[in-house]
């Protein structure tokens, strides 16, 4: 076999970057398989399972394992690997100085307004604490952070007058800058406090489609309104938006909070009106919450754009299969549909050792291929940080599924300003045979109908 | 509450996935990317515990603040017997505590020389036998007695010591007098010329300096070090400017206080570019000692080597040593010597790096970059990388070439573990065989396990 197996001590790239390198290499002519990853136990096992002779390594080392059809092709692949790694080398600082190695050091040299932390969860605490101690608010995109660390950070942040957004905070918009997975939203009067990333994206995208923009979107992390964390960041964020003259209305997006936390939030006595979108039994869905917000602002509620499937087969009924990338969107769809089997591919169980499904579609595509009949309901989330062209891989898979007697319904969460272009993506998915909605709740209702529910 | 990030232009520090940073670039949001790497292997759990210690932030501010505010003054020169209460057969040595059995060649050589100098043995073989038997001999670490010694760092009762007091915090520290280069006791040489020189230092040099200091009053070492940094010294491998400044300060007093010996004393000091090193080490020691004993602080207050082990001590961990094997320096060799002649790293002179001088101040000393085997840019890189593992920048010790930025001062065990960056240490290289002396000079890296062991201890509830 023409194998290249190498361990490069002390060479670090983040997992998303390495996934892109691996993908580029796998697509290179003559390459049969390529693993370029940090040498964690998981990745070492993966390489061993592929039949590579893997030398001893530590998680701080870079593992390279490439197999090609011929020695010449392997040599060519090796050159491509170097090109890929060089193109993704860490940025160097100014004047030939070494770039900062910690958030603490970066904060000393660069006058920042906030920090965005997305290192692996077990290491996120140190970077986030650096930011807070430097007097910076911090968004923690990383997940898998122990709850004690979250509470410690949030208490420390409150004492410093800064905000901890996260952990597991997928989206935020601060002063017009979209952080993490962020839609391109017009500026406007609505401030959002969100314990749910994709929930906030749905609400703000619909508002944007209705011509209403946001002042800020402040994520607080999915656990913030739990009894344990006690809404530490949500309370701070609500108070901050209440003080912000640009914010005329606040939308709070969360799973149902713990009762005592709900009480604390209610007792805040804010001057700014608050519309709550708290997913759960007896609560509004996200679309209804967006509509309430529009009415509170005295704006009209438009018909949410949708693109019905070109060839519907009215007689088919069958099971409903929900294949989601967004956790809140998944929960909302399951609740609205009231039937079917739903999988959240953004859940920790699916993201350990690989990128989020909004970046890496592999698992969801496999699952879609596995749907033999009935209805498949999916979400596609657009915006910065997300896949630059999701329809490029999803449209062919939809075509295959529709040809194989499966109805496909897609909720596209995005705006006209998003780099992927909402209407172009929707049109391509629709042409492939999917019914496409901009409201996830509407998509779920439609899917239930198709499934005969 | 008013949240400042909601007002004004967003400026973001990104650490982690490049794709999220690139998304900000596409929005033209100004940002600084952190070149993040995983921490030292096995350090994650202890790091989380240490960083969550509620005492840490203020403890470190207190501890490093003491290093920065220390005002070391050279106040006297006295025999060790008198200053440190050393009795016959008692010796201090560099680095963490060590036994004769585990001592390396130069350490053994220096102990032999000290035995001969004190008249406890008539010949080297006899000295070795006595030291090996341990009868009537006590060895202890200099650091346990407010003292530091370069290379083998052996201190015996009859040696004269520089006494440095901290005018800010009131501490006192000691270091022996520098013997010069070549065949000298601190490099493990013990020939007749070595012993003869020690005698002269005890009979002439020490008393002359003591009398001179009494005349001219204490010498402000903080000011002197600050000036020397601006004149191209880093105060460990280059002390030429500091030595010259010191001579300028004390020469008239030497002439007045010891007219009969003034010429030979001044000639001796002038002939040794490293004469100031020992005064600088005592200044560093008294500054670092001021930072000891702050509960919860992860500040390194001593780095020292005995030729076998490299050890560190940490402010929040009392007098415990955390050690790993001493490495062999990488550097330039004198004459026909080469790496195979080199002893593992030895000496307390790393106290200079501990307070942000030496390797940490390399950018101030472009003249010695050849020890790094490189360019002036390498010296700048060495210094700038040390800002990543230190808590502060020294307000008085500044580097002209870096826009008068303060030297990186106060090593944080947690930052070493997070970045994997180990302190840059400039050092002399001793010959492996007892009696050889100096064979070269260069750079050395401390063992990472000393830092991870200290981190574990800090995180231990």
Question: pLDDT by residue (tens digit) across B46-58?
Answer: 999 999 999 999 9
Is B142 inside any structural domain? yes
Task: Say what the pLDDT of residue A323 is.
Answer: 96
Task: Say what the pLDDT of residue A311 is.
Answer: 65
Task: Say what the pLDDT of residue B371 is.
Answer: 63
Co-location of B78 and B62 in the same domain = no
SS (H, E, C) chain A: CEEEEEEECCCCCCHHHHHHHHHHHHCCCCEEEEEEEECCHHHHHHHHHCCCCCCCCCCCCEEEEEEECCHHHHHHHHHHHHHHHHHCCCCCCHHHCCCCCCHHHHHHHCCCCEEEECCCHHHHHHHHHHHHHCCCEEEECCCCCCHHHHHHHHHHHHHHCCCEECCCCCEEEECCEEEECECCCCEEEEEEEECCHHHHHHHHHHHHHCCCCEEEEEECCCCCCCCCCCCHHHHHHHHHHHHCCCCCEEEEEECCCCHHHHHHHHCCCCCCCEEEEECCCCCCCHHHHHHHHHHHCCCCCCCCCEECCCCCCCCCCCCEEEEECCHHHHHHHHHHHCCCEEEECCCHHHHCCCCCCCCCCHHHHHHHHCCCCEEEEEEEECCECCCCCCHHHHHHHHHHHHHCCEEEEEEEECCCCCCCCHHHHHHHHHHCCCEEECCHHHHHHHHHHHCCC
pLDDT band at B120 (very low <50, low <70, confident <90, very high): very high
Co-location of B446 and B309 in the same domain = yes
Q: Is B418 on the interface with A (CB under 8 A)?
A: yes
Cβ-Cβ contacts under 8 Å, B385 against chain A: 98
For A338-346, what is the mean pLDDT?
92
A325: pLDDT strictly greater than 70: yes
pLDDT digits (tens, 9 = 90+) for B71-82: 999 999 999 999
Task: Say what the pLDDT of residue A392 is.
Answer: 94
Q: Is A9 on the interface with B (CB under 8 A)?
A: no
B100 close to B189: Cβ distance less than 8 angstroms:
no
A90: pLDDT strictly greater than 70: no
Sign of the dihedral defined by the CA atoms of residues A71, A76, A78, A79, in that order: positive
Which of B24, B25, B32 is the best mutation test for A, with the most CBs of A within 10 A? B32
Any residues with CB less than 8 A from the CB of A385 and at least 6 apart, and which?
A178, A180, A181, A182, A358, A359, B19, B20, B23
% residues pLDDT > 70 (chain A) = 96
Single pTM value for the model: 0.90
Task: Say what the pLDDT of residue B39 is.
Answer: 95
pLDDT digits (tens, 9 = 90+) for B137-165: 999 999 999 999 999 999 999 999 999 99
Here the ipTM equals 0.91
- Which CATH number do you get for residue B134? 3.90.1710.10
- Pick the range with the lowest mean pLDDT from A60-64, A341-345, A406-410, B129-133: A60-64
- The Cα A316–Cα B295 span in angstroms is 72
For A407-426, what is the mean pLDDT?
96
Co-location of B129 and B30 in the same domain = no
Task: Say what the pLDDT of residue A315 is.
Answer: 59
Co-location of B85 and B32 in the same domain = no
For B399-408, what is the mean pLDDT?
95
pLDDT digits (tens, 9 = 90+) for A134-151: 999 999 999 889 999 999
Domain of residue B27 covers 4-36
B16/A102 CB distance under 8 A:
no
A326 close to A433: Cβ distance less than 8 angstroms:
no
Co-location of B170 and B311 in the same domain = no
Is B49 inside any structural domain? no
Is B161 inside any structural domain? yes
For A72-82, what is the mean pLDDT?
90
Last residue of a domain, one of B259, B283, B307: B283
A216/B421 CB distance under 8 A:
no
Co-location of B133 and B243 in the same domain = yes
A93: pLDDT strictly greater than 50: no
Most distant CA pair in chain B: distance in Å? Answer: 80
pLDDT band at B177 (very low <50, low <70, confident <90, very high): very high
Is B309 inside any structural domain? yes
Nearest CA distance, A51 vs chain B (angstrom):
27
Co-location of B160 and B28 in the same domain = no
Angle at CA A279, nearest 5°, toward A276 and A280? 125
Task: Say what the pLDDT of residue A452 is.
Answer: 81
Is B51 inside any structural domain? no
Cβ-Cβ contacts under 8 Å, A161 against chain B: 1-4
Tokens representing B130?
A: 């006595």
- Pick the range with the lowest mean pLDDT from A5-19, A85-99, A124-138: A85-99
- Which CATH number do you get for residue B430? 3.90.1700.10
pLDDT digits (tens, 9 = 90+) for B248-302: 999 999 999 999 999 999 999 999 999 999 999 999 999 999 999 999 999 999 9
Cβ within 8 Å of A, B 388-407: 388
Q: Is B420 on the interface with A (CB under 8 A)?
A: yes
Which of A113, A141, A185, A186 is the best mutation test for B, with the most CBs of B within 10 A? A113
Which residue, B172, B239, B157, is CA-closest to B206?
B157
pLDDT band at A97 (very low <50, low <70, confident <90, very high): low
pLDDT band at A316 (very low <50, low <70, confident <90, very high): low
Cβ within 8 Å of A, B 22-41: 23-24, 26-27, 29, 31-39, 41
Q: Across the interface, which of A15, A96, A127 has its CB nearest the CB of B377?
A: A96
A348: pLDDT strictly greater than 90: no
Co-location of B209 and B304 in the same domain = no
For A378-406, what is the mean pLDDT?
93
Domains with residue ranges and CATH for chain A: 2-87 (3.30.70.60), 103-296 (3.40.50.261), 306-450 (3.40.50.261)
Last residue of a domain, one of B265, B283, B301: B283
Co-location of B271 and B374 in the same domain = no
pLDDT band at B66 (very low <50, low <70, confident <90, very high): very high
Angle at CA A94, nearest 5°, toward A93 and A100? 30
- The Cα B45–Cα A123 span in angstroms is 9
Co-location of B303 and B436 in the same domain = yes
Alpha helices in B201-350 (DSSP H): 206-216, 221-229, 240-257, 262-270, 275-290
Which residue, A436, A439, A354, is CA-closest to A398?
A436
For A58-62, what is the mean pLDDT?
84
Co-location of B224 and B183 in the same domain = yes
Any residues with CB less than 8 A from the CB of B85 and at least 6 apart, and which?
none
pLDDT band at A94 (very low <50, low <70, confident <90, very high): very low
Is B42 inside any structural domain? no
Task: Say what the pLDDT of residue A95 is.
Answer: 47
Task: Say what the pLDDT of residue A353 is.
Answer: 65
Last residue of a domain, one of B236, B251, B283: B283
- The Cα A293–Cα A235 span in angstroms is 20
Task: Say what the pLDDT of residue A274 is.
Answer: 95
- The Cα A127–Cα A116 span in angstroms is 9
A351 close to A360: Cβ distance less than 8 angstroms:
no
When divided into structural domains, chain B yields a total of: 3
Co-location of B251 and B316 in the same domain = no
Cβ within 8 Å of B, A 32-51: 38
Is B41 inside any structural domain? no
- The Cα B441–Cα B22 span in angstroms is 45
Any residues with CB less than 8 A from the CB of A131 and at least 6 apart, and which?
A103, A107, A114, A115, A117, A137, A138, A162, B13
Cβ within 8 Å of B, A 120-159: 120, 122-123, 125-127, 129, 131, 133, 136-137, 141-142, 146, 148-149, 152
pLDDT digits (tens, 9 = 90+) for B308-361: 999 999 999 999 999 999 999 888 888 889 899 999 999 999 999 999 999 999
Burial of B336 (0-12, 13-18, 19+ CB in 10 A): exposed
Tokens representing A273?
A: 């009106």
CA distance readout (Å), B249 to A5, A122, B236, B253: 64, 55, 20, 8
- Pick the range with the lowest mean pLDDT from A126-140, A206-220, B233-247, B359-373: B359-373
Long-range contacts of A155-159 (CB under 8 A, 24+ apart): A155/A232, A156/A129, A156/A132, A157/A132, A157/A233, A157/A236, A158/A232, A158/A236
Tokens representing B340?
A: 């195979």
A141 close to A170: Cβ distance less than 8 angstroms:
yes
Q: What is chain B's mean pLDDT, rounded?
A: 95
A106/B415 CB distance under 8 A:
no
For A91-106, what is the mean pLDDT?
75
């Amino acid at each position: 076999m023409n194998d290249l197996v190498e361990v490069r001590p002390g060479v670090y790239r983040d997992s998303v970057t390495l996934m892109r390198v691996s993908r580029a290499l796998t697509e290179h002519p003559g390459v049969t398989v390529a693993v370029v990853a940090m040498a964690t136990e998981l990745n070492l096992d993966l390489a061993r399972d592929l039949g590579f002779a893997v030398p001893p390594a530590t998680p701080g080392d870079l593992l390279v394992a490439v197999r090609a059809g011929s020695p010449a092709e392997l040599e060519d692949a090796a050159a491509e690997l170097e090109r890929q790694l060089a193109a993704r080398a860490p940025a160097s600082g100014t004047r030939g100085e070494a770039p900062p190695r910690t958030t603490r050091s970066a904060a000393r040299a660069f006058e920042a307004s906030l920090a965005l932390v997305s290192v692996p969860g077990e290491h996120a605490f140190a970077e986030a604490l650096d930011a807070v101690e430097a007097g910076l608010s911090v968004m923690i995109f990383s997940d898998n952070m122990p709850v004690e660390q979250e509470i410690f950070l949030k208490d420390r942040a409150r004492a410093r007058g800064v905000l901890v957004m996260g952990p597991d905070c997928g989206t935020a918009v601060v002063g017009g800058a979209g952080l993490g997975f962020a839609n391109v939203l017009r500026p406007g009067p609505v401030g959002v406090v969100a314990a749910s990333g994709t929930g906030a994206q749905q609400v703000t995208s619909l508002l944007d489609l209705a011509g209403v923009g946001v002042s800020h979107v402040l994520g607080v992390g999915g656990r913030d309104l739990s009894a344990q964390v006690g809404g530490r960041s949500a309370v701070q964020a609500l108070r901050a938006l209440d003080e912000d003259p640009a914010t005329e209305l606040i939308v709070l997006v969360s799973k149902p909070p713990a009762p005592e936390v709900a009480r604390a939030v209610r007792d805040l006595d804010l001057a700014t009106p608050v519309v709550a979108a708290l997913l759960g039994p007896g609560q509004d869905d996200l679309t209804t919450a967006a509509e309430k917000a529009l009415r509170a602002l005295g704006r009209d509620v438009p018909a949410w754009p949708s693109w019905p499937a070109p060839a519907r087969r009215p007689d088919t009924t069958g099971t409903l299969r929900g294949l989601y990338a967004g956790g809140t969107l998944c929960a909302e769809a399951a609740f609205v549909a009231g039937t079917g089997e739903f999988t959240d591919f953004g859940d920790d169980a699916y993201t350990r050792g690989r990128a989020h499904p909004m970046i890496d579609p592999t698992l969801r595509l496999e699952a879609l291929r596995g749907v033999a009949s009935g209805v498949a309901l999916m979400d596609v989330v657009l915006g910065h940080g997300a896949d630059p062209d999701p329809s490029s891989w999803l449209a062919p898979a939809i075509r295959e599924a529709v040809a194989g007697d499966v109805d496909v319904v897609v909720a596209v969460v995005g705006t006209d300003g998003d780099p992927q272009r909402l209407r172009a993506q929707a049109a391509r998915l629709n042409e492939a045979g999917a019914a496409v909605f901009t409201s996830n709740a509407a998509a779920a209702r439609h899917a239930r109908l198709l499934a005969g529910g | 509450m008013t949240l400042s990030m909601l007002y004004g232009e967003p400026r973001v520090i990104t650490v982690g996935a490049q794709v999220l940073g690139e998304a900000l670039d596409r929005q033209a949001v100004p940002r600084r990317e952190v070149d993040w790497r995983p921490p030292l292997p096995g350090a994650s759990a202890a790091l989380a515990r240490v960083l969550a210690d509620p005492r840490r932030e203020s403890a470190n501010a207190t501890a490093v603040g003491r290093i920065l505010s220390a005002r070391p003054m050279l106040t006297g020169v006295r025999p060790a017997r008198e200053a440190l209460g050393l009795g016959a057969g008692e010796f201090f040595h560099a680095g963490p505590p060590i036994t004769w059995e585990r001592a390396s060649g130069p350490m053994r050589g220096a102990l032999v020389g000290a035995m001969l100098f004190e008249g406890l043995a008539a010949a080297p073989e006899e000295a070795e036998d006595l030291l090996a038997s341990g009868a009537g001999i006590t060895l202890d670490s200099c650091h346990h007695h407010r003292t530091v010694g370069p290379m083998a760092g052996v201190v015996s009762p009859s040696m004269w010591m520089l006494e440095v007091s901290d005018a800010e915090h009131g501490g006192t520290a000691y270091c022996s007098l520098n013997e010069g280069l070549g065949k000298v006791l601190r490099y493990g040489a013990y020939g007749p010329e070595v012993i003869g020189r020690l005698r002269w230092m005890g009979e002439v040099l020490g008393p002359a300096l003591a009398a001179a200091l009494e005349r001219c009053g204490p010498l402000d070492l903080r000011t002197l070090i600050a000036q020397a940094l601006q004149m191209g010294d880093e105060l460990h491998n280059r002390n030429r400017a500091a030595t010259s400044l010191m001579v300028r300060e004390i020469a008239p007093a030497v002439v007045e206080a010891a007219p009969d010996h003034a010429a030979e004393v001044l000639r001796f000091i002038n002939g040794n570019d490293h004469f100031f090193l020992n005064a600088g080490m005592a200044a560093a020691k008294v500054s670092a000692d001021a930072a000891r004993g702050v509960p919860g602080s992860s500040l390194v207050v001593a780095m020292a080597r005995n030729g076998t082990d490299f050890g560190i001590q940490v402010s929040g961990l009392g007098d415990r040593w955390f050690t790993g094997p001493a490495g062999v320096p990488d550097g330039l060799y004198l004459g026909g010597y080469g790496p195979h002649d080199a002893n593992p790293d030895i000496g307390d002179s790393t106290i200079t790096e501990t307070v942000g001088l030496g390797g940490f101040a390399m950018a101030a000393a472009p003249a010695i970059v050849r020890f790094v085997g490189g360019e002036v840019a390498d010296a700048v890189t060495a210094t700038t990388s040390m800002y990543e593992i230190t808590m502060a920048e020294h307000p008085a010790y500044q580097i002209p070439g870096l826009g008068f930025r303060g030297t990186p001062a106060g090593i944080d065990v947690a930052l070493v573990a997070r970045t994997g960056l180990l302190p840059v240490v400039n050092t002399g290289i001793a010959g492996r065989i007892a009696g050889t002396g100096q064979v070269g000079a260069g750079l050395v890296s401390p063992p990472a396990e000393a830092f991870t062991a200290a981190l574990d201890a800090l995180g231990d509830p």
